[in-house]
Amino acid sequence: MKDEALEIEKKIGVTFKDKDLLNLAFIHRSYLNEHRSVKEHNERLEFLGDAVLELVVTDHLFHKYKEPEGVLTNWRSALVKTETISKIADGLDFEKYLKLSRGERKGTKRARRPILANTFEAVIGAIYLDQGYEKSKGFIEKNLLVLLPEIIKTKAYIDAKSYFQEIVQEKEAITPQYKVISEMGPDHEKIFTIGVYIKDRLAGKGTGPSKQVAEQAAARDGLQKYTKK
């Protein structure tokens, strides 16, 4: 556990006074079922880290940008959503250090995304307790807030389906329709390919692990093609 803590410290750029706090951030609730000697999991740290994350991001947006509240809310949502922070946790190799039950370990990578996101928040909570607000703020700035310019540039904060529908309805007075083109893989790990159609014309196509995700991908593809006209 001590060696693992040292490895994690190198990855996150934070040296802990209390290594046990950092180790706790990686203990998932399921791990306790198979390790009775372990009495605590990371959910309380996650609860704390979530609040610190929200404050740091909100404070940054408020002081750096003059946009109205609705825009700032959308930017914040894009930054702190599970998909975003689980990717950061994955990039920091957090999965290697997760303490999970055998059942959770055998699950799909997609199923572990929320666990990775929660671990990222738990690490923030641990940094806050061990090092204080400024250190946790620095960690969030270094790993998360650096993504904001790209999110703004690519309009990743916009709900692609709503935006695409708005544009098509304005220009052509019709509503885009989404249809499943194909489904692949077993039920527990199915991949959907969905097309978005304007009348009978395929305007965009996207894939994803659920119909909702594939529809958003199709809408983004449609937006890119449609706005280039």
Q: What is the mean pLDDT of each run of 10 residues along the chain (229 residues)?
A: 82 94 95 87 97 98 95 94 93 94 79 92 98 97 96 83 89 94 86 94 92 91 79
Q: Are residues 139 and 70 in the same domain?
A: yes
What global pTM score does this model have? 0.78
Give the closest residue to 11 by CA, choosing from 134, 118, 131, 120: 120
Final residue in a domain of this structure, among 154, 171, 194: 154
- The gap between the terminal CA atoms of the chain, to the nearest Å, is 57
The pLDDT score that the predictor gives to residue 227 is: 67
Q: Are residues 98 and 207 in the same domain?
A: no
Describe the crossing of helices 43-64 and 69-80 by its angle, rounded to 10 degrees.
Answer: 140
Q: Are residues 15 and 56 in the same domain?
A: yes
Q: Are residues 205 and 146 in the same domain?
A: no
Query: Helix (H) and strand (E) counts for the chain?
Result: 12, 3
CB 53 within 8 A of CB 139: no
Q: Are residues 130 and 177 in the same domain?
A: no
Q: Are residues 144 and 178 in the same domain?
A: no
Q: Give the SS3 label for residue 98.
A: coil
Domain carrying residue 212: 160-226
- Catalytic residue numbers read 50, 121
The pLDDT score that the predictor gives to residue 106 is: 78
Q: CA distances (Å), 148 to each of 94, 118, 155, 177, in order?
A: 22, 20, 10, 31
Q: Are residues 70 and 146 in the same domain?
A: yes
The pLDDT score that the predictor gives to residue 130 is: 97
**For the chain, what is the domain count?**
2
Q: Are residues 97 and 14 in the same domain?
A: yes
Distance, CA of 65 to CA of 204 (rounded, Å) = 33
DSSP assignment of 120-138 equals HHHHHHHHHHHH-HHHHHH
Q: What is the dihedral of CA 26, 29, 30, 34, to 10 degrees?
A: 90
Q: Do strands 177-184 and 191-198 pair parallel, antiparallel, or not at all (unpaired)?
A: antiparallel
Final residue in a domain of this structure, among 136, 154, 172: 154
Q: Are residues 89 and 143 in the same domain?
A: yes
CATH of the domain at 59: 1.10.1520.10
The pLDDT score that the predictor gives to residue 139 is: 97
Helix H segments across 40-132? 43-64, 69-80, 82-91, 102-106, 113-131
The distance between the two most distant Cα atoms of the chain, rounded to a whole number of Å, is: 64
Distance, CA of 219 to CA of 37 (rounded, Å) = 49
Give the closest residue to 44 by CA, choosing from 22, 25, 31: 25
